[in-house]
């Protein structure tokens, strides 16, 4: 009986737990707010604490265009720096692109199908937080690389040349082109909106700075005038009727 126990332990060690298998969830420890599945475009603002790091994942198919636009809206703290470190990694873990600026755009064609990681690091500010505006997503330009897809395109072109009365195909192609152009216009509009919001926060910060220093200098001027008046009055004060004033 005792000789069977080592053999049983060896079988359990080699076989592992019963029912073990591959994980269906690519990131089981992440919440749904950090994994973006369905929509092609997201834009929102997040606040990074001092020396903080925040990452998001977005799903993209191979051949789709992945884009990311970001801008620092405001920064708090002493000796703050508006630079933001941004890295984008492929599903395999390889670094696709990186940036270290207050605002920027990252655009590339996805070489892998899966979740692409976007990390934002606020290591420049050790004692202050910052708010950043993000706009990212995927789109497909319609570029086809395989030989089969090229043959299908040639067949479609030949059919269109043979049947000039097929207006629905022309309307469909025009609609896709207009939709693609509108999508790019929306991207540039979103980036411009980020610039206006950043300028707005900068104006508010400058207004508070000027107001505080104006109040402080006004109090300093009033205090100096009061002290001068008290000093002059003390020069003309006499101790008695026969004594002369000090000045």
For the domain that residue 136 is a member of, what is the CATH number? Answer: 2.60.120.680
Range of the domain at 119: 29-171
Share of residues in the chain with pLDDT > 90 (%): 34
pLDDT of residue 141: 66
- How many domains would you assign to the chain? 1
Q: Which residues does residue 117 pair with via DSSP β-bridges, in sequence order?
A: 57, 89
**Residue 235: its pLDDT value, please?**
78
State which residues of the chain have pLDDT below 50: 1-26, 32-34, 143-144
The token pair that represents 169 in the structure block: 């195909």
| Distance between CA atoms of residues 40 and 214, nearest Å | 49
73: helix, strand or coil: strand
**Interstrand relation of 53-60 and 65-75 (parallel, antiparallel or unpaired):** unpaired
Give yes or no for a contact between 176 and 170, defined as CB atoms under 8 angstroms apart.
Answer: no
Q: Retrieve residue 61's tokens.
A: 């198919």
Please check whether residue 24 lies inside any domain of the structure.
Answer: no
Helix crossing, 167-235 with 147-162: angle to 10°? 110
| 178-198 pLDDT per residue, tens | 888 888 888 888 888 888 888
Note the helical H segments in 72-166. Answer: 147-162
Judge whether 147 lies within some domain.
yes
Instruction: Give the HSE-up count for residue 212: Cα atoms under 13 Å, Cβ half-sphere.
Output: 6
Q: Is residue 167 part of a domain?
A: yes
Residue 71's nearest CA partner among 82, 79, 55 is 82
Among the residues of 54-166, which ranges form H helices? 147-162
Report pLDDT for 187. Answer: 84
What per-residue confidence (pLDDT) applies to 165?
A: 59
Residue 50 lies in a domain: yes
Residue 230 covered by a domain = no
Residue 210 lies in a domain: no
Q: Is 113 a domain residue?
A: yes
Per 3-state DSSP, the chain is made up of helix, strand and coil in percentages (nearest 5) of 40, 25, 35
Residue 139 CA, chain-centre distance (Å), reads: 18
Q: What is the pLDDT of residue 190?
A: 84
Is residue 95 in a domain? yes
């Amino acid at each position: 009986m005792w000789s069977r126990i080592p053999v049983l332990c060896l079988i359990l060690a080699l076989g592992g737990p019963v029912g073990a298998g591959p994980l269906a969830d690519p990131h089981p420890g992440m919440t749904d707010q950090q994994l973006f599945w369905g929509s092609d475009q997201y834009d929102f603002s997040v606040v990074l604490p001092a020396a903080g790091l925040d990452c998001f994942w977005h799903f993209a198919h191979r051949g789709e265009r992945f884009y990311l636009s970001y801008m620092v809206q405001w920064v708090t703290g002493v000796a703050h720096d508006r630079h933001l470190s941004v890295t984008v990694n492929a599903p395999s873990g390889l670094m696709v692109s990186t940036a270290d600026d207050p605002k920027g755009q990252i655009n590339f064609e996805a070489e892998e199908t899966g979740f692409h990681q976007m990390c934002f690091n606020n290591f420049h500010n050790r004692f202050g937080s910052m708010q950043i505006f993000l706009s990212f997503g995927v789109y497909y330009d319609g570029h086809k690389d395989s030989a089969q897809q090229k043959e299908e395109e040639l067949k479609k072109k030949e059919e269109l040349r043979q049947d000039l009365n097929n207006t629905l195909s022309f309307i469909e192609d025009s609609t896709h082109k207009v939709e693609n152009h509108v999508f790019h216009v929306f991207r540039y509009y979103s980036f411009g909106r980020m610039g206006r919001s950043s300028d707005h926060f900068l104006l508010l910060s400058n207004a508070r700075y000027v107001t505080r220093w104006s109040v402080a200098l006004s109090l300093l001027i009033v205090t100096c005038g009061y002290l001068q008046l008290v000093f002059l009055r003390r020069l003309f004060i006499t101790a008695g009727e026969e004594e002369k004033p000090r000045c």
